[in-house]
Structure 1
Amino acid sequence: MRGTPLEVSKVVVVGYGVSGQAAHRALSRLASAVIVVEDSPDPALRDLAKSRNAIGAFRSDELALSLDAKWPDLVVVSPGVRPSHATHHYFDAPVISELELGWRMTDLKVIAITGTNGKTTVTTLVDSMLDESSIRSIPCGNYGRPLVELSDEEGWAVVEASSFQLSTISEFAPDVAAIVNVTPDHLDWHGGFENYLGAKLRIFENVGAGSVGVIPTDFSWRPPELSFSLFTFGADSGDFFASEKELISPFGAIVAKSDLKKALPHDILNFLAASACAISAGASLEAIGRACKGFEGLEHRMEVVAELDGMRFINDSKATTPASVVAGLSGLRRCVLIAGGRNKGLDFEPLLSQHEKLAAVVLIGESTDELAQLFIGTLEPSKIVRAKSMKEAVQAGYALSGSSCDVILSPGATSFDWYSGYEQRGLDFKKCVSELVNSLEG
């Protein structure tokens, strides 16, 4: 293990989803005993842990009766475990994230990427840019495989790091650390924007000499003492920036804008951030340019799923914050916006900055009333429609649109009121669009 040696004889793993299970598998080679804490009402995950040789599996409300606070040497928490969770305070042992454990257990060089919007896209792009340069890399973390699974791998780990994961690091020190952007998100989980921003900034906490940081040009934060190299990127200024015709790096032109398949404002910023990360890991400008030219976008992020009579249906289900909705709408013509879901304690008012783009809104999920109130006075009452299902929303969106008007699902909220995740929500949208198009063309 790198970093300060950890005592891992007796370990508690908190949360038994993908990350927790990966941590358990990795620790089974090192620890003499593992206990799992999993609060799911369904006992299936606790039973699964015991079937994999955990000596115990409990709910957190059973801890005081089941386990001495002094028992573990180490507590490993999964990303979804809130800072207020009992396990953060009950045990006397150090508490670290699966991300921290993974970094300790691997010798891979690490590019860590965080941000409110675009971090999955940038992670994917960096991996592609390194691949084009014949540099071995593995996407992991919040996207791809858990880092803790990669202890036997070589090359670069391209880590998508969430604020949840970063909030419980201690010595995690990436070779390249990037913040793509920061806007309010997960305020219910972190207890406020300052805590959320603080968690994001921890990505630089242990970055030292010989390493590289990447931040937006307009990012107000700067390290108090710059012990590492720093690249900035921006739409029209920074070390990496976009001219009228090209994307530019300090080492020369990267790619012509006309060669890009995705070139909305947020796409350009993603390309620039990824280029800064990839160059820092040794990728060539030529390889980076090829990766940019070949990039067609990700599923559920500004994904055109159908075209009908001059209008497009766009799946932007991954837009779970108002800021990400604004980023998507900023590059579109007039549209009907399908929005709503479970609010994370965020202010929807930034959506009004795009009101001139909105022909109508179709509102879904728990935040319907909040959003309807927001748009009163901006849109005619007949242009504010409530839907009780995705099928109804898609049909209403089509009815409200015109031949030069798109229909976009860009919720600005989480999906957990109706769905298990943004992926399921996006797939339902695509299914409903397909059914509508088939019925109209048939």
Structure 2
Amino acid sequence: MILVYGLGRSGLGVLRFLKRRGMPARFYDDRPKEEEVAEALALGFSPDWGLEGTYAEVVAAPGVPLTHPHLEALRARGARVLGEAELAYRLSETPIVGITGTAGKTSTTLFTAHLLQGQGLKALPGGNVDPPLVEVVDQAEVAVAELSSFQLERVHAFRPRVAVLLNLGVDHLDRHGSLEAYHAAKLNLLKNLTPEDAVVYNLEDPKVRKAAEATPARPYPFLPQASPRETNLEAALQATRAYLDLLGRPLEEKALRESLKTLPEPPHRFQVFARKGQVVFIDDSIATRTPAVAAALRAAPAPIAWILGGEDKGADLLSLKALLPRVRVILAIGRDGPRMVEALGEGVEVVVIGEKEGRKALKRAVEEALKRLEAGSVLLAPLGASFDQFRDYQDRARAFREAVFALGGEPWTPPSS
């Protein structure tokens, strides 16, 4: 029997995946939401609220730390903990292109799927980017999976046909405990590669290069380009070439040129989506690393009402102090928002948003921002992870947009040239 631990986007996807295979399972969630429980029940699965059952395997949602006391207790009783990537690999024959790195995963995943589609393949993106990997593997000729360290720390036999390793920086230290543990989770992407697989890797990142060149997989190195977007595109091009090589197919250059004209853009990455008078609203919910937040603070129209907070991942806040002159007010949300603001020091007004429920917190943050701005921008660039108040960064983005439109924001359209 399988226990699906944690509902939300990933857990419900796993239950649907198991339902299609006629496999029995039960479910549990620390903070069950009525609508999610109702969906799980409608699929024909029952809960185990007391965690009293005996399970061979526990499929744990990525937001649940492996050190969670419940998971440790289940392991002590003989259960093996895995994630949706492992489950998808084990129960589906669809080949997987797996993509990870500290930065650039989402863009590279979307670009790779798009380029492979242009080559005539039914390539579908999933994983850390919507939808879950288990939702696409049954429909795709090849699944292109964005894989976070949270997902990769719970793989065992998982073996992508093409592994893409973009970079190894600093992130999620709150979750993994050390930089070494974080990097080790990322490098699980490579651990089962064979000479029949391919590895796409950043030639200028010494840790990436060392790890990639130690595998038996066919090497497809790439060099960073002038911008992050161009770098991610170069990685996607190499991943596309690598997969076509595995199929014994040539790259169709004319089709590639057409695909490059219509590249997709990642959702919730510095998107101006609404305005109210002379104030614009910017959704950068995906910005949970210092470089991304710094770029957002430089690009957003000043004065800025900056919505900051969530679960602190060990981010460097001091390097953002030089950008505070562009900020009119910081709205501190979530579990660690107030403490994160303290690390920035004085020099800007701070409003601590005390509401615990995420949607209420963001609505209050937008209200406080509009009290202080006649022009400029309200920027959601939280730097923190979302799991304290939301299912994921996309749920946080939706809540922000709902709040803006509820308070009179109107859809933004680019000025005509």
Which residue identity does 2:366 align to in structure 1?
K
Counterpart of 1:40? Answer: 31
1:20 aligned to which of 11, 36, 39: 11
Counterpart of 2:222? Answer: 233
Greater displacement, 103-112 / 306-315: 306-315
Q: Distance in 2 between matches of 1:21 and 1:143?
A: 15
Is 2:331 the counterpart of 1:363? yes
Q: Distance in 2 between matches of 1:412 and 1:57?
A: 34
Aligned pairs (5 A) from 1:290-369 = 290-295=258-263, 297-305=265-273, 313-329=281-297, 336=304, 338-349=306-317, 351-352=319-320, 355=323, 358=326, 360-366=328-334, 367-369=336-338
Is 2:183 the counterpart of 1:212? no
List gaps (5 residues or longer) in structure 1. Answer: 1-9, 236-240, 243-264
Q: Distance in 1 between matches of 2:80 and 2:389?
A: 37
| 1:331 shift after superposition | 6.3
Counterpart of 2:71? Answer: 87
| 1:98 shift after superposition | 2.0
Task: Decide whether the 8 Å contact of 1:394 with 1:432 is kept in 2.
Answer: no
Q: Distance in 2 between matches of 1:47 and 1:304?
A: 35
SS state at 2:333 partner: coil
| 1:174 shift after superposition | 0.5
Is 2:233 the counterpart of 1:271? yes
Q: Distance in 1 between matches of 2:389 and 2:31?
A: 19
Counterpart of 1:248? Answer: none
| 1:334 shift after superposition | 6.5
Q: Distance in 2 between matches of 1:306 and 1:22?
A: 31
| 1:116 shift after superposition | 3.1
How many residues get paired?
A: 386
Q: Distance in 1 between matches of 2:67 and 2:29?
A: 15
Go from structure 1 to structure 2 and tell me whether the alpha carbon gap of 1:273 and 1:151 turns closer, same or farther (over 3 Å shift). Answer: closer
Task: Decide whether the 8 Å contact of 1:362 with 1:397 is kept in 2.
Answer: no
List gaps (5 residues or longer) in structure 2. Answer: 245-250, 354-363, 413-417
Normalised to the residue count of structure 2, the TM-score between the two structures is: 0.77
Q: Distance in 2 between matches of 1:73 and 1:31?
A: 17
Counterpart of 2:48? Answer: 58
What does the per-residue CA deviation read over 1:99-140, in whole Å, with 9 as the maximum and x for residues that have no partner?
Answer: 111111222121111233332222111111112222211112
Which residue identity does 1:161 align to in structure 2?
L
Is 2:58 the counterpart of 1:75? yes
| 1:423 shift after superposition | 1.9
Task: Decide whether the 8 Å contact of 2:297 with 2:326 is kept in 1.
Answer: no
Counterpart of 1:280? Answer: 242
Go from structure 1 to structure 2 and tell me whether the alpha carbon gap of 1:22 and 1:410 turns closer, same or farther (over 3 Å shift). Answer: closer
| 1:52 shift after superposition | 4.3
Structure number with bigger Rg = 1
Which residue identity does 1:412 align to in structure 2?
L
Task: Decide whether the 8 Å contact of 1:325 with 1:410 is kept in 2.
Answer: yes
Q: Distance in 1 between matches of 2:239 and 2:321?
A: 31
Go from structure 1 to structure 2 and tell me whether the alpha carbon gap of 1:376 and 1:118 turns closer, same or farther (over 3 Å shift). Answer: same
Q: Distance in 2 between matches of 1:429 and 1:233?
A: 42
Q: Distance in 2 between matches of 1:48 and 1:437?
A: 32
Counterpart of 1:413? Answer: 384
Task: Decide whether the 8 Å contact of 2:277 with 2:375 is kept in 1.
Answer: no
Task: Decide whether the 8 Å contact of 1:390 with 1:432 is kept in 2.
Answer: no
Greater displacement, 353-362 / 193-202: 353-362
Task: Decide whether the 8 Å contact of 1:348 with 1:371 is kept in 2.
Answer: no
Go from structure 1 to structure 2 and tell me whether the alpha carbon gap of 1:137 and 1:357 turns closer, same or farther (over 3 Å shift). Answer: farther
Counterpart of 2:365? Answer: 390
Task: Decide whether the 8 Å contact of 2:309 with 2:338 is kept in 1.
Answer: no
Which residue identity does 1:297 align to in structure 2?
E
Q: Distance in 2 between matches of 1:183 and 1:433?
A: 38
Q: Distance in 1 between matches of 2:366 and 2:276?
A: 17
Is 2:398 the counterpart of 1:424? yes
Go from structure 1 to structure 2 and tell me whether the alpha carbon gap of 1:198 and 1:291 turns closer, same or farther (over 3 Å shift). Answer: same
Task: Decide whether the 8 Å contact of 1:341 with 1:364 is kept in 2.
Answer: yes
Q: Distance in 1 between matches of 2:222 and 2:48?
A: 47
Which residue identity does 2:304 align to in structure 1?
V
SS state at 1:411 partner: strand
SS state at 1:207 partner: coil
Counterpart of 1:109? Answer: 95
CA RMSD of aligned residues (A): 3.6
Q: Distance in 1 between matches of 2:23 and 2:396?
A: 38
SS state at 1:125 partner: helix
Identity rate, percent = 26
| 1:96 shift after superposition | 2.4
Go from structure 1 to structure 2 and tell me whether the alpha carbon gap of 1:12 and 1:437 turns closer, same or farther (over 3 Å shift). Answer: closer
SS state at 1:103 partner: helix
Q: Distance in 1 between matches of 2:372 and 2:166?
A: 32
Task: Decide whether the 8 Å contact of 1:307 with 1:313 is kept in 2.
Answer: yes
Counterpart of 1:169? Answer: 155
Greater displacement, 122-131 / 270-279: 270-279
SS state at 2:267 partner: coil
Task: Decide whether the 8 Å contact of 1:266 with 1:328 is kept in 2.
Answer: no
Which residue identity does 1:23 align to in structure 2?
V
SS state at 2:383 partner: coil
